[in-house]
């Protein structure tokens, strides 16, 4: 008996779901080189254009000279350096919470938070369209796991009535494949009414949303009482890497004691924490980045509407174009690439069957002229595809 891996791979190819890694041969930014081809990219999550910012690079370089390039140990042994501590304090200040805790990745932050807070005899309720890391965390926690209808507070309320033990309600802030936002005020009301806790993963909200870049929770004016557990990632609008959980003193101490992905992994490089502190300063002080990004989003949505494209309901930098068929989505992505523009086709199982799409992401590093180039290419590609046999 053996694993028939070849058959699994062949089946994925036959279903047009086979994935390959594009090779990036340049720094992140609007203009990239991928697999040797110069392209105008609309597919990364560098929403504020900080991933290649000279001041952030300089902060990392200077910190590496002082602190070295490795964390060296886990936080609880001897890997918790001054830069980590200072970044945690800065993130707590950004979120208006008593404390924050650094994790190496967003996946680890979600897994660590959920599994530290609930277990056998408890309940986890999650939005159906939550990120895979949140769903995996719920399943691995050992708690009773159930999913409510997408962004539906009434559906959540029905499931809360049947919940047992400590109950954790978990949602994305900005849904990464649709670009819509969670109705946090309604979810918080239902959750508080049942004595449950609300956990929000605002990976795609921090930076673009909120008056000071504090994300969806700031956008809605919610606090610690409404959202006790707040997660953010640093590899998107912050432009660096890692993640954090922000909350009460008791929450963070609980994670330090019980979150296995935090306890049993080496800390991130201290120099990375210094780079992130610099990007956090820029995120908070350079408001023009959010303002410019908002203008680009409006420009894109208006232009796409004039072309007749089917957009999803989003005021965020994530602007998916619904296509439906996976083969058609891949073909459109290929056609755009032949015109020098990179937009990724998103297919099942990342999104539900029949909802393949082109996932356009905008950045403050883009110009209005570049967005217009994208719109012109989209108009040409959709028009050409409609004229092909079998695509009408």
Q: Catalytic residue at 75?
A: no
- 158 part of the active site: no
Whether 292 has a binding-site annotation, put simply, is no
CA angle 106, 276, 116 (to 5 degrees): 30
- Say whether 350 counts as a known binding-site residue: yes
Active site residue 204: yes
**Rounded to whole angstroms, how far apart are CA atoms 237 and 184?**
21
What does the DSSP assignment read for 214-264? Answer: -HHHHHHT--TTT-SEEEEESSSTTSS--EEEEE-HHHHHHHHHH-HHHHT
Q: How far apart, in whole angstroms, are the C-alpha atoms of residue 313 and residue 303?
A: 15
CA distance 126 to 169: 6
Question: Residue 176, annotated ligand binder?
Answer: yes
- Given 141, 176, 333, 363, which residue is catalytic? 176
Does 131 count as an annotated binding residue?
Answer: yes
Q: Is 123 annotated as ligand-binding?
A: no
Element holding 281 (H helix, E strand): helix 270-285
Q: What order of strands is seen across the sheet that includes strand 31-34?
A: 31-34, 37-41, 341-342
Q: Which of 189, 190, 171, 184 is nearest to 129 (CA)?
A: 171
Place of tokens 């300063």: 281
**Is 105 assigned a ligand-binding role in the annotation?**
no
Which residue among the candidates 53, 75, 80, 204 is catalytic per the annotation?
204
Q: Is 233 annotated as a binding residue?
A: yes
Considering 236, 278, 292, 366, which one is annotated as catalytic? 236
Task: Say if residue 106 carries a ligand binding annotation.
Answer: yes
**Residues making up the binding site for pyridoxal 5'-phosphate:** 106-107, 176, 204, 233
Q: Which residues are catalytic?
A: 176, 204, 236
**Residues making up the binding site for substrate:** 19, 131, 350
**Residues making up the binding site:** 19, 106-107, 131, 176, 204, 233, 350
């Amino acid at each position: 008996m053996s694993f028939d891996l070849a058959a699994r791979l062949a089946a994925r190819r036959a279903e047009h779901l086979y994935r390959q890694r594009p090779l990036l041969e340049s720094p992140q930014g609007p203009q990239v080189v991928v697999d040797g081809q110069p392209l105008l990219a609309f597919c990364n999550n560098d929403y504020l254009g900080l991933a290649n910012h000279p001041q952030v690079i300089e902060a990392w370089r200077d910190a590496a000279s002082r602190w070295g390039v490795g964390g060296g140990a886990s936080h609880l042994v001897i890997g918790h350096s001054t830069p980590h501590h200072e970044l945690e304090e800065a993130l707590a200040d950004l979120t208006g919470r008593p404390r924050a805790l650094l994790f190496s990745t967003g996946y680890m932050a979600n897994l660590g938070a959920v599994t530290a807070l609930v277990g056998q005899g408890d309940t986890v309720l999650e939005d159906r369209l939550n990120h895979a890391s949140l769903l995996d965390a719920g399943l691995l926690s050992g708690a009773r796991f159930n999913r409510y209808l997408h962004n539906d507070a009434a559906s959540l309320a029905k499931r809360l009535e049947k919940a047992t033990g400590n109950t954790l309600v978990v949602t994305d802030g900005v849904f990464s494949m649709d670009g819509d936002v969670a109705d946090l005020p309604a979810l918080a009301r239902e959750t508080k009414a049942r004595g449950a806790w609300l956990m929000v993963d605002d990976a795609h909200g921090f930076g673009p949303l909120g008056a000071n870049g504090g994300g969806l929770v700031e956008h809605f004016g919610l606090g610690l009482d409404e959202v006790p557990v707040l997660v953010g990632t640093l590899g998107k609008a912050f432009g660096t890497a890692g993640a954090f959980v922000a909350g009460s003193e008791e929450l963070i101490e609980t994670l330090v004691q019980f979150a296995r992905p935090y306890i049993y992994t080496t800390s991130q490089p201290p120099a990375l924490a210094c780079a992130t502190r610099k990007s956090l300063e820029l995120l908070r002080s350079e408001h023009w980045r959010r303002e410019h990004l908002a203008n680009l989003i409006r420009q894109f949505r208006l232009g796409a509407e004039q072309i007749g494209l089917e957009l999803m309901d989003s005021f965020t930098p994530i602007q998916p174009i619904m296509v439906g068929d996976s083969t058609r989505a891949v073909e459109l992505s290929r056609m755009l690439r032949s015109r020098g523009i990179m937009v990724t086709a998103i297919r099942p199982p990342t999104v539900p069957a029949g909802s393949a799409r082109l996932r356009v992401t905008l950045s403050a590093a883009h110009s209005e002229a570049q967005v217009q180039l994208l719109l012109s290419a989209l108009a040409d590609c959709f028009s050409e595809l409609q004229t092909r046999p079998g695509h009408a």
